[in-house]
Chain A
Amino acid sequence: MLEIQNLVKHFGALIAVDDVSFAVARGEVLGFLGPNGAGKSTTMKMITGFVPPTSGTATICGHDIAQAPIAAKRCIGYLPEGAPAYPDMTAAEFLDFIAHIRGFSGREAKRRIGRIVETIHIGEVIHQPIETLSKGYRRRVGVAQALLHDPQVLILDEPTDGLDPNQKYEMRKIIDEMRPNKAIVISTHLLEEVEAVCSRAIIIAHGRILADATPEELVRRSRRHNTVRLAASGAAEAQIRAELLRLPTVAAVEAPGDGEGLQIFPRNGQDIVADVADLVRAHRWRVVSLRVDRGRLDEVFREITAGAAERPLVAAAA
């Protein structure tokens, strides 16, 4: 449904997006992760036709955004960064305007607007001028506008930014409900969001894609993946440690000193909690706490993005 090939964007000497390629199929929710200034928004602006690419193509539902912009834009629902909307219009007037632009009129427009207002729960504020709405409501109006025409491709730039936890949950639920028939791309800083909503994540920094995998695969790259935290009494820590190190599946044991006891590292990232539990039982130690650490996405993120090179400049003699 959405295919990006070798997108590049230069702003003068600055390379904002450096050869980005990916594809999103129906039913996929792609999370676009990256530090500020990574090129997420610029990439989205190129996909939606706001910024012309320096080179490369974006194809939406078979339409090239550069060659057939109107046809492509018809298939896209876009929530730009900051959820802009005309401040002096009411939400109802705004949605009516968008509905007409999207080709609906009269009863059909009213029906669609009514349905989206209910789905997104903005009925209370529908007749207030948008400039008087809170950030959360403004963002919801923005999402409503993107969903109004039931597009096949959704591009949402930070859809939960500024929402309170309940609203975040609701927004994610909406995205999840939309998922089966659409290809959705959301950009976010929130790693919890990636894990909650996305079926795939792309980490981008300095304009380059550094990782493209499912959230589970990414988490597996964490140093802490499948480590076991064990706090036990009944023996000296040094002894417990020694015994643990004797297990064939244990690679190392550390004592982080954060109150959760020992940190036991598996060999090759395998599942060792059963072995540890058996060991504890065999020695009759008393368990104070025992937990498996899946690993943390923010660690993986930091590791991947910290290793990236500084943003390169275009060569002077190009």
Chain B
Amino acid sequence: MRNLLTIFRREFVSYFTTPLAYVFIVIFLVMAGMLTFFVGNFFGRGQADLQPFFEFHPWLYLVLIPALSMRLWAEERRSGTIELFLTLPIRMTEAVVGKFLAAWCFAGVALALTFPFWVTVNLLGHPDNGVILASYIGSWLMAGALLAIGACVSAVTKNQVIAFVVTAALAFIFTGAGSPAVLGALQGWAPQWLIDAFAEMSFVDHFSGITRGVLDLRDVAYFVSIMIAFLCANTILVDLEKAE
């Protein structure tokens, strides 16, 4: 446990010692703002909720989360610090979870810094803050799931650009799993049960339930199980790839 915290602390602080954190947060906030107020027609629709804000999170994450996850392991392998890191007396799970938590908490910080939106909507009307809180939690869980996928991809390559692109592609598949664009690739040859199972994986579907105010345990469990599954895969992959 101690080691996990030490690793977490090191990783988390390292986000803020480079411009990475600040650039990421600023761009995230600016894009969220533009999408909410203009594309989402926040003012025009005249409703006191943050639906137009949360609606775009899956697509914001599609582009920004891979940028966070790509460096998790690829950077260590490229700079050689992975050899130092993995010869310290730490368990692989401590290493994997420590890094993941640091990235997830950083995403949480970025998300928390969107509080001006929440303040705005409360000043302009009487929104259901319970729904908004649930939506924030759901969004954070979704970010976590994407980060876990990204961390896993980052573990198998030294090249951060490859990690970014592959993660973004996987994020697109998971996010838009219910849409005709993705399902269309399966139709025609896959059995119906596979298409249905695949459609079930859609991040957007699980997330939109939450943003409408229904914090269904199944949706939460879905994101959490994605995280756990990919973190396990991450642990195995780092072990396999560390020396090659």
- Report A-chain residues with C-beta under 8 Å of the C-beta of B81: 84-86
Report the count of interface residues on B (CB-CB < 8 A): 22
A174 within 8 A of B: no
Task: Report the bound CA distance from A103 to B89 in whole Å.
Answer: 10
Chain A residue at smallest Cβ distance from B83: A80
Given the known interface contacts A84-B84, A97-B6, the answer about A70 and B79 at a Cβ–Cβ threshold of 8 Å is: no
* Total A residues in contact with B, Cβ cutoff 8 Å: 30
Question: Given A52-B243, A70-B91, A101-B3, is A82 in contact with B80 using a C-beta cutoff of 8 Å?
Answer: yes
Q: Does A121 contact B (CB under 8 A)?
A: no
Interface residues of A in 101-144 (CB under 8 A from B): 101-103
* Residue in contact with B83 in the complex, picked from A52, A69, A84, A101, CB distance below 8 Å: A84
A51 at the interface (CB under 8 A from B): yes
CB distance from B95 to the nearest CB of A (A): 10
CB distance from A71 to the nearest CB of B (A): 8
Q: Does B181 contact A (CB under 8 A)?
A: no
Chain A residues within 8 Å of B242, by CB: 50-51
Task: Report whether B89 and A74 are in contact in the complex, using a CB–CB cutoff of 8 Å.
Answer: yes
Check if B87 sits within 8 Å of A101, measured CB to CB.
Answer: no
In the bound complex, residues from chain B placing their C-beta under 8 Å from that of A88 are: 14, 17-18
Q: Does B86 lie within 8 Å of A80, measured CB to CB?
A: no
Contact partner, A51, options B7, B10, B243, Cβ 8 Å: B243
Pairwise interchain contact B17-A50, C-beta atoms closer than 8 A: no
- Contact check, A48 vs B87: say whether CB atoms are below 8 A apart: yes
Say yes or no: is A100 at the interface (Cβ < 8 Å to chain B): yes
Question: Does the CB pair A78–B89 fall under 8 Å?
Answer: no
- Chain B, range 67-89, C-beta contacts under 8 Å to A: 79-81, 83-84, 86-89
By a CB distance below 8 angstroms, the chain B residues around A82 are: 80
Known: A70-B89, A86-B81. A101 touches B6 (CB 8 A): yes
**Are the C-beta atoms of B84 and A80 separated by less than 8 Å?**
yes
> Is B90 interfacial (CB 8 A cutoff)?
yes
Instruction: Identify the A interface with B (CB < 8 A).
Output: 11, 45, 48-52, 69-71, 73-74, 76, 78, 80-82, 84-89, 97-98, 100-103, 145
Chain B residues proximal to chain A, CB less than 8 Å = 2-3, 6-7, 10, 14, 17-18, 79-81, 83-84, 86-91, 242-244
8 shortest interchain CB distances as A-B pairs: A84-B80, A73-B89, A51-B243, A80-B83, A100-B6, A48-B87, A84-B81, A74-B89
